Amino acid sequence: MLRCCVCCLCTEGQLVHTLPEGEPVMGVTSLGDEIYLLRPKGIDEVEVYNAISYHLLRCLTVPNARSFIDMTSCKHFLCLYIADPDAECVHRLNLQGKAAQWPVNDEPFGLSVNANHNLIVTCDRVRKVKELSPRGNTLRDVTLPDDVINPWHSIQLTSGQFIVCHGDRDDPVHRVCKVREDGCRVLESHGGQRGSNIGQYHVPCHLAVDDNEFVFVADVNNGRVTLLSPTLEYKRQVVARDQFKWRPDIVHLDAQRRRLYVADTEVKDGKVTVGRVVLFSI
């Protein structure tokens, strides 16, 4: 039976709901009937919302945390993973709030979980992707190609290849790439010179991939979410600039509910100040 791409029925995401504004949003994910939203509050950092009513259900605290930069979840082990760059670690939090801390030995940035239920950690400063087992042991340490500078987020496909987005504000090249499993070369890419045309990006910093390997890209400074085909060809704009109050910098796909969760973040004088999560039907 041929599966249908979750995004094939509409050309642009339709606004469904907006979760409350507050402290900057550092991560958003979902498990079952719950949405998890990460904020740097010092206590009760993970806000848990009902995915149907959008009511706040409870909060979870991340013990011994120093900073946050991303969050993902594992449906198999029913847990959350939170990147802590200042402590060079990842926090593993179960849904009852029990926590463990795993060393990364580099500053983690983007997080995702692969088909083997292992954690994929992107370390932007050293241009590496690390694979951690469910016990926190490092299974692989992959160095990305020399032209993949400032990688933000990586997702491993079932083939073993990685989809990687890269390019900081002043970098000349801003792309989404498909990289070989061993990291030695780029196989396909979309983007290039920094810009605002449909074939360009200005800080593509976060990704989501559906079951058919279509790719959603948060294009931060262009204020949009773009959809790419499995071969990284441009398909369309999923969410436009005028659908955000500030700028999109995190995306999470709930394929079962056909929902795209996008963190919408305000930046003033180089600092993130306020954030919210906007939900779109796709």
Q: With contact defined as beta carbons under 8 Å apart, do 171 and 154 qualify?
A: no
pLDDT tens digit sequence for 32-80:
999 999 999 999 999 999 999 999 999 999 999 999 999 999 999 999 9
Residues 103, 106: Cα–Cα separation, whole Å: 8
Go through the domains of the chain in sequence order and give each one's CATH number: 14-281 (2.120.10.30)
Specify the pTM.
0.94
Query: Residue 7: is its pLDDT beyond 60?
Result: no
Q: Which H helix or E strand runs over 237?
A: strand 234-239
pLDDT tens digit sequence for 172-222:
999 999 999 999 999 999 999 999 999 999 999 999 999 999 999 999 999
The tokens describing 247, both together, are 């700028």
Residues 177, 190: Cα–Cα separation, whole Å: 6
pLDDT tens digit sequence for 227-243:
999 999 999 999 999 99
CA angle in degrees (0–180, nearest 5) for 193-211-202: 15
Residues 46, 80: Cα–Cα separation, whole Å: 10
What pLDDT was estimated at residue 271?
Answer: 83
Q: Which residues contact 269 (CB under 8 A, 6 or more apart)?
A: none
Residues 47, 59: Cα–Cα separation, whole Å: 5
* pLDDT confidence tier of residue 11, bands split at 50, 70 and 90: low
Mean pLDDT of 104-116: 97
Residue type, 271: K
Q: Which of left, alpha, beta for 51 (phi over 0: left; psi -120 to 50: alpha)?
A: alpha
Q: Which H helix or E strand runs over 140?
A: strand 138-143
* pLDDT confidence tier of residue 13, bands split at 50, 70 and 90: confident
Q: Which of left, alpha, beta for 69 (phi over 0: left; psi -120 to 50: alpha)?
A: alpha
